[in-house]
Amino acid sequence: MATWLITGCSTGLGGSLARAVLEAGFNAVITARKLDSLESLAAEFPDTALPLALDVTDRSQVEASVTAAVERFGAIDVLVNNAGYGYRAAVEEADEAEVATLFATNFFGAVAMIKAALPGMRSRRFGTIVNLSSIAGRRASPGSAYYAASKFALEGMSDALRKEVGPLGIRVIVVEPGAFRTDFAGRSLQQAGANIADYAKTAGLRRKENDRTHGTQLGDPALAAQALIKVVGGNTPPFRLLLGSDAVQGAKDELDSQRQELERWESVSLSTDHR
C-alpha cells in the first residue's frame, strides 16, 4: 500500500487531497501547522492516517515528519508539497520581511521537504514528488509579483530536479491549478500594508478589499484531488499538470504570446552569434 506525505492539509486542496487519498485506501501522513485541524479526519482512518504538526519553515519539524512517516509506514512513496499561501502587493509596496517569509514557505519549505524525503526515495529507487505551483508559475498578474516569483522558483527548481532524479527512478510533477473554491483568496491570502495610489488601477484592483472573485472560482478541490490521485497512479505522468479550464486557457494564451514575441524578435536574437 502506497504512503503519501502531504503538507498543508488543514483546508483547501490539501485537505481535499488528504481525504481522497485516505478514502482510496492509501496510507497518508497528513500535516498542518495546527494539529487539531486534522483530528476529525484522522479519527475516521485510525489505521492509515498519521496526523502530524508541521510548519515547513521549521527544519526540525520537517526532519521529524519524515522520520515519523518512515517509522509508521516504512517509506514515503509520494511527497506532496502543498503548503503555501498567497500574497498580494505591487512590487514597490511589498514589505521585505513579508516577502522573505513567503519564500520561506512557498519555496524553501518545499525544498526542505524534498531534501528530507529524497534519501529514502533514492535508496529504494522509487518515489514521486508533487510540487503544488499555480498558473502564476507560468505568468504573473499585477499585484502577485512575489507570489508568482515564489512559484516560478519552485518550477525552475522542479525542472532541474526531475532531470537529476529521473534516472534514479523518482518522478517529479508540478501542478498548476487555476482558481479553486478554497480559502486561498480569502483567509489564506495576505497582502502588504502599503497602498500606493498610483497602482490603484493595476495591482490595487486585486487587493482583498477590491477582489470579488472569492467564492465564485470555477475549480472544485474535490475533483482536483481525484485528478491528482489518477495522475500520480499512472505510468507516465506529465511534468506539468494544469488544473482547471482557466488554467488551461491562461497557459495557452501565455505560450501563444511568448511564441509571437520570440518570432517577432528572432532576427535580433540570431544576430548576436559569432560569424
Which residues are annotated as catalytic? 133, 147, 151
Determine contact, residues 78/232, Cβ cutoff 8 Å.
yes
Q: Decide: helix, strand or coil at residue 55.
A: coil
Determine contact, residues 111/83, Cβ cutoff 8 Å.
no
Phi, psi for 52 (deg, rounded to 5): -140, 145
Buried b (16+ CB within 10 A) or exposed e, 215-249: eebebbbeebbbbbbebbeeeebeeebbbbebbee
**Measured between alpha carbons, how far is 272 from 253 in angstroms, rounded to an integer?**
29
Phi, psi for 112 (deg, rounded to 5): -60, -40
Contacts of 221 (CB under 8 A, 6+ apart): 12, 13, 15, 16, 17, 180, 181, 182
Determine contact, residues 161/172, Cβ cutoff 8 Å.
yes
DSSP state of 272: T
**Measured between alpha carbons, how far is 153 from 7 in angstroms, rounded to an integer?**
18
